[in-house]
């Protein structure tokens, strides 16, 4: 296939990566990646401890150049989720920043520390570019039930998506992308790091999101900003009263939102404060990017724009028939075909087969299409998938984690609207009527006073012993899965509403 990162091969002196005050040009990146490819070449698969750092970017670039597939791991992943990811993906080596304290299953693997400034004597040539179907990344994503699935993403999907975005966004080597997204998902890693590198442009990563950081980088030389709606919500809330932030946002060539729907109110507040419109694009771990509002097109707030070049998108009704209407009203499931698609779910041929409808990938998203061809996402087929802060979270995985707590007899998880997060996770719990002891080493700190969860453990009337408090259950989920999967609200009930078959009636819970 063509070269994934031409500027890296040319060892251009132009700036490539910047994280805080640490930066690498393409020439420097090639000089550190070359020797690394030799050290990791031949590995079956590597895990990358994906902190928001220069080390992570270097590790992923080196793995891609070495044709070794990389599994980016959220450093906050909890015990049971990490055990699953490591046993499912079976990495033979872990790449991490020096000094990182790796937890159990990763600590047991051979480890290679990444020093972005290491110079291994003579410059090493980068190896030949591997074929386009070579798996590049395995990114874990949640489904409605069970543990997350590993999405096998080939080089072809990365190259084609990034080239389609070049066209839609007029993305060039002159662009300086600003972002603060995590580096273990498609948005932050593929679009946010590999995107600038494919163009020969540069990325400034903030390390962690803050409105001040965004204002500073856009006021300097940033030309584009990528964020999730929660970030734009926070920027919109502040831009009205912060002229420096409003001016910095107004200077940007392109403000792009994705991973979840951006409410119209946020679109309007940003436009009013900055004079600049946010554009939305729509994608998925399995499909990378499908549609976008074009930089050179009509603004279309509330829509995710038109299919990207090379991507086929259709709407399908409940009977499996393609919807021909482009009336902005008829709702169908979005199905996608094109070079942007993944190869398979790792070790899950059953799930892979079920995800396709004769070559079309079923996204599970429901949408309409208007006369101009713009898609509008109106919801999801499965109510058991939650999008909170731009993270996809399955109700089933949280229910399983809650049920694994000895103090929980029954559990159901739902979502409710949240101004900041889009959706917040709500847990409905029936506690076991027995005395429970807290799991070992449970740091049951006080609950956030702004969280509507009970701060203390009530006493079990039958046994007189403590029953798990809301904050204990919240910590338990954060510890087992990941902090962003923790319930924000916990309700305790005497019983869950069920139908005659024993199925939980989730709709009745919020009533």
Chain contacts with ligand MCA (rule: CB under 6 A)? 76, 181-182, 185-188, 209, 228, 230-231, 258-259, 283-285, 389-391, 474-475, 478, 483-484, 486
Task: Restricting to residues 382-421, name those near ligand AMP by CB under 6 A.
Answer: 387, 392
Cβ proximity of 342 and 157 under 8 Å: yes
Of all residues in the shown chain, the one whose CB is closest to ligand MCA is 389
Count of other CB atoms within 10 angstroms of residue 250:
16
* Strand, coil or helix: 372: coil
**Smaller CB distance to ligand MCA: residue 295 or 442?**
442
Identify what 363 binds: ligand MCA, ligand AMP, none; CB under 5 to 8 Å per kind. Answer: ligand AMP
**Spatial CA neighbour of 78 closest among 487, 424, 485:** 485
Phi, psi of 40 (to 5 degrees): -105, -10
Pairing of strands 69-73, 489-492: unpaired
Nearest approach, Cβ of residue 263 and ligand AMP (Å): 10
- With binding defined as CB under 6 A, does residue 267 bind ligand AMP? no
Q: 428 - beta bridge partners?
A: 412, 491
Segment contacting ligand AMP by CB under 6 A, of 16-24, 167-175, 205-213, 254-262? 254-262
**Smaller CB distance to ligand AMP: residue 116 or 283?**
283
Nearest approach, Cβ of residue 400 and ligand AMP (Å): 19
Residues across the chain: 511
Among 261, 389, 394, 396, binds ligand AMP (CB under 6 A): 261
The 3-class SS string of 225-262 reads: EEECHHHHHHHHHHHCCCHHHHHHHHHCCEEEECCCCC
Cα separation of 137 and 152, whole Å? 6
Helix or strand holding residue 143 (H, E): none
Q: How many residues in the shown chain lie near ligand AMP by CB under 6 A?
A: 19
Among 135, 147, 283, 332, binds ligand AMP (CB under 6 A): 283
Segment contacting ligand AMP by CB under 6 A, of 48-56, 69-77, 279-287, 335-343? 279-287
Q: Which residues contact 234 (CB under 8 A, 6 or more apart)?
A: 209, 211, 420
CA triplet 351, 355, 361: central angle to 5 degrees?
150
**Smaller CB distance to ligand AMP: residue 280 or 397?**
280
Identify what 483 binds: ligand MCA, ligand AMP, none; CB under 5 to 8 Å per kind. Answer: ligand MCA
Cα separation of 325 and 443, whole Å? 55
Nearest approach, Cβ of residue 244 and ligand MCA (Å): 21
Cα separation of 394 and 314, whole Å? 25
Angle between helices 211-219 and 229-239 (to 10 degrees): 80
Task: Restricting to residues 169-208, name those near ligand AMP by CB under 6 A.
Answer: 186
Among 37, 65, 89, 141, binds ligand AMP (CB under 6 A): 141
Cα separation of 317 and 407, whole Å? 43
- With binding defined as CB under 6 A, does residue 81 bind ligand AMP? no
Q: 94 - beta bridge partners?
A: 47, 111
- With binding defined as CB under 6 A, does residue 280 bind ligand AMP? yes
Identify what 484 binds: ligand AMP, ligand MCA, none; CB under 5 to 8 Å per kind. Answer: ligand MCA
Nearest approach, Cβ of residue 509 and ligand MCA (Å): 23
Contact footprint for ligand AMP (CB under 6 A) = 141, 186, 258-261, 280-285, 304, 363, 365, 377, 380, 387, 392
């Amino acid at each position: 296939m063509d070269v994934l990162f031409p500027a890296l091969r040319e060892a251009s002196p132009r700036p490539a990566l910047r994280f805080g005050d640490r930066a690498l040009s393409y020439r420097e990146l090639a000089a550190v990646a070359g020797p690394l490819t030799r050290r990791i070449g031949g590995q079956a698969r590597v895990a990358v401890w994906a902190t928001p750092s220069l080390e992570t970017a270097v590790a992923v670039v080196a793995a891609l150049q070495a044709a070794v597939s990389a599994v980016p791991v959220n450093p906050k992943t909890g015990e049971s989720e990490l055990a699953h990811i490591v046993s499912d993906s079976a990495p033979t080596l872990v790449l991490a920043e020096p000094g990182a304290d790796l937890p159990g299953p990763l600590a047991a693997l051979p480890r290679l520390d990444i020093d972005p400034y290491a110079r291994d004597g003579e410059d090493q040539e980068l190896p030949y570019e591997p074929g386009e179907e070579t798996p590049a990344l395995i990114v874990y994503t949640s489904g409605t039930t069970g543990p997350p699935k590993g999405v096998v993403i080939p080089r072809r999907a990365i190259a084609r998506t990034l080239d389609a975005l070049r066209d839609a966004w007029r993305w060039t080597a002159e662009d300086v992308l600003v972002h603060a997204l995590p580096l273990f998902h498609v948005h932050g890693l593929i679009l946010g790091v590999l995107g600038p590198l494919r163009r020969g442009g540069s990325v400034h990563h903030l390390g962690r999101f803050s409105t001040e950081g965004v204002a500073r980088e856009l006021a300097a030389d940033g030309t584009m900003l990528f964020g999730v709606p929660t970030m734009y919500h926070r920027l919109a809330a502040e831009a009205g009263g912060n002229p420096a932030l409003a001016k910095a946002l107004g200077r940007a060539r392109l403000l792009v939102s994705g991973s979840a729907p951006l409410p119209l109110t946020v679109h309007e507040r940003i436009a009013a404060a900055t004079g600049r419109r946010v554009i939305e694009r729509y994608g998925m771990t399995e499909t990378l990017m499908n549609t976008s509002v074009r930089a050179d097109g009509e603004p279309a707030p509330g829509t995710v724009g038109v299919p990207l070049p090379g991507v086929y998108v259709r709407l399908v009704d409940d009977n499996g028939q393609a919807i021909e209407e482009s009336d902005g009203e008829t709702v169908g499931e979005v199905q996608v075909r094109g070079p942007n698609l993944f190869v398979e779910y790792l070790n899950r041929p059953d799930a892979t087969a079920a995800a396709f409808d004769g070559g079309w990938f079923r996204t599970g998203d429901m949408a309409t299409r208007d006369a101009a061809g713009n898609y509008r996402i109106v919801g999801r087929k499965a109510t058991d998938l939650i999008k909170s802060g731009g993270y996809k979270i399955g109700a089933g995985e949280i229910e399983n984690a809650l049920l694994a707590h000895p103090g929980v007899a029954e559990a159901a998880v739902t979502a409710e609207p949240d101004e900041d997060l889009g959706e917040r996770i709500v847990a409905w719990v029936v506690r076991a009527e027995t005395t429970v002891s807290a799991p070992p080493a449970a740091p049951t700190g006080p609950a956030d006073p702004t969280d509507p969860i009970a701060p203390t453990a009530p006493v079990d009337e039958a046994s007189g012993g403590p029953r798990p408090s809301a904050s204990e259950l919240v910590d338990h989920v954060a510890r087992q899965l990941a902090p962003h999967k923790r319930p924000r609200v916990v309700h305790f009930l005497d019983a869950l509403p069920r139908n005659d078959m024993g199925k939980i009636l989730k709709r009745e819970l919020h009533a």
